[in-house]
């Protein structure tokens, strides 16, 4: 199953000694970027997000052109309607979880109604965490709240940069089913960066292997339906 909103990327950019020269069509719904440290995964994610402006090339998402060097066209990050989940969650520490979630809705760019706060809270089982400070959450709880915050901004595309890398095995196992539920229930394309091959194989509809700033191969996968994979907390 592929989405009608795919990413089409042909870019060349240099950061210091590093050159990213990447060309790919990502149809998802969940595309995983894998590769050794320094291969350019986060740089490619930043190019998609508009946080790095490439020297040359073109980036499109569905029928939207986000970057075209020939036309000197560059859509700024906040206009791309992208949700971002980072390794550390990056919730605002001086606000409660509830305020973090409400704050995120304020930045919505979609004209439609968007998901209801209660539905996202239920989906990610974070109702009991709403009045807490992000400082008092476990790593897994923090990432579930960060995912909720990203979804509430009604993104067209979700970028996840090593969201489980800072968690131990048990916490990773706690969060993975929620990511699977979001992948399967919300038809938002996701580009997901990880070092962990088993995570890539469990989550990915396509696995994009990077090495030295290039995309070596894209492997499309057919995921077999897994019984009892709803989150269990």
Ligand X SMILES: Nc1ncnc2c1ncn2[C@@H]1O[C@H](COP(=O)(O)OP(=O)(O)OP(=O)(O)O)[C@@H](O)[C@H]1O
Asked whether position 41 contacts ligand X by CB under 6 A, the answer is yes
Q: Is 13 helix (H, G, I), strand (E, B) or coil?
A: strand
Six-digit token pair at 127? Answer: 């109702």
- Binding segment toward ligand X, per CB under 6 A, in 11-19, 102-110, 147-155, 167-175: 11-19
Asked whether position 38 contacts ligand X by CB under 6 A, the answer is yes
Q: How far is the CB of 111 from ligand X (least distance, A)?
A: 34
Of the residues 6, 28, 29, 35, which one makes contact with ligand X according to CB under 6 A: 35
Position of minimal CB gap to ligand X: 16
Asked whether position 140 contacts ligand X by CB under 6 A, the answer is no
Asked whether position 13 contacts ligand X by CB under 6 A, the answer is no
Asked whether position 87 contacts ligand X by CB under 6 A, the answer is no
Q: How far is the CB of 191 from ligand X (least distance, A)?
A: 12
Q: List all residues 6 or more positions away from 221 whose beta carbon is below 8 Å from its beta carbon.
A: 201, 204, 205, 206, 207
- Rounded Cα distance between 97 and 84, Å, is 17
- Binding segment toward ligand X, per CB under 6 A, in 14-22, 68-76, 79-87, 128-136: 14-22
Distances (CA, A) of 65 to 2, 76, 192: 20, 11, 21
Residue-wise DSSP of 116-164: -HHHHHHHTT-GGGTTS-GGGS-HHHHHHHHHHHHHHT--SEEEEESTT
Q: Which helix (H) or strand (E) holds 100?
A: helix 97-106
Comparison of 26 and 148: residue with beta carbon closer to ligand X? 26
Site of interaction with ligand X (CB under 6 A) = 15-16, 18, 35, 37-43
């Amino acid at each position: 199953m592929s989405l009608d909103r795919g990413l089409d990327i042909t870019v060349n950019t240099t950061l210091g000694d590093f050159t990213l020269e990447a060309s790919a069509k990502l149809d998802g719904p969940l595309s995983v970027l894998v590769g050794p440290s320094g291969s350019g995964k986060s740089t490619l994610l930043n190019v998609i997000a508009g946080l790095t402006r490439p020297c040359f090339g073109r980036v499109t998402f569905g029928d939207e052109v986000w970057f075209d060097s020939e036309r000197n066209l560059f859509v700024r990050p906040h206009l791309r309607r992208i949700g971002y989940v980072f390794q550390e969650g990056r919730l605002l520490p001086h606000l409660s979880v509830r305020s973090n979630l409400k704050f995120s809705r304020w930045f919505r760019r979609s004209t439609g109604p968007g998901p209801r706060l209660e539905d996202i809270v239920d989906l990610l089982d974070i109702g009991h965490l709403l009045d807490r400070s992000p400082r008092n959450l476990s790593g897994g709880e923090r990432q579930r709240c960060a995912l909720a915050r990203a979804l509430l901004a009604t993104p067209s595309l979700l970028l996840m940069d090593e969201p489980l890398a800072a968690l131990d095995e048990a916490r990773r196992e706690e969060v993975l089913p929620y990511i699977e539920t979001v992948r399967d229930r919300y038809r938002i394309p996701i580009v997901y960066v990880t070092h962990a091959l088993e995570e890539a194989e469990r989550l990915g509809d396509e696995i994009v292997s990077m090495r030295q700033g290039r995309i070596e191969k894209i492997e499309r996968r057919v995921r077999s339906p897994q019984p009892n994979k709803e989150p269990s907390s």
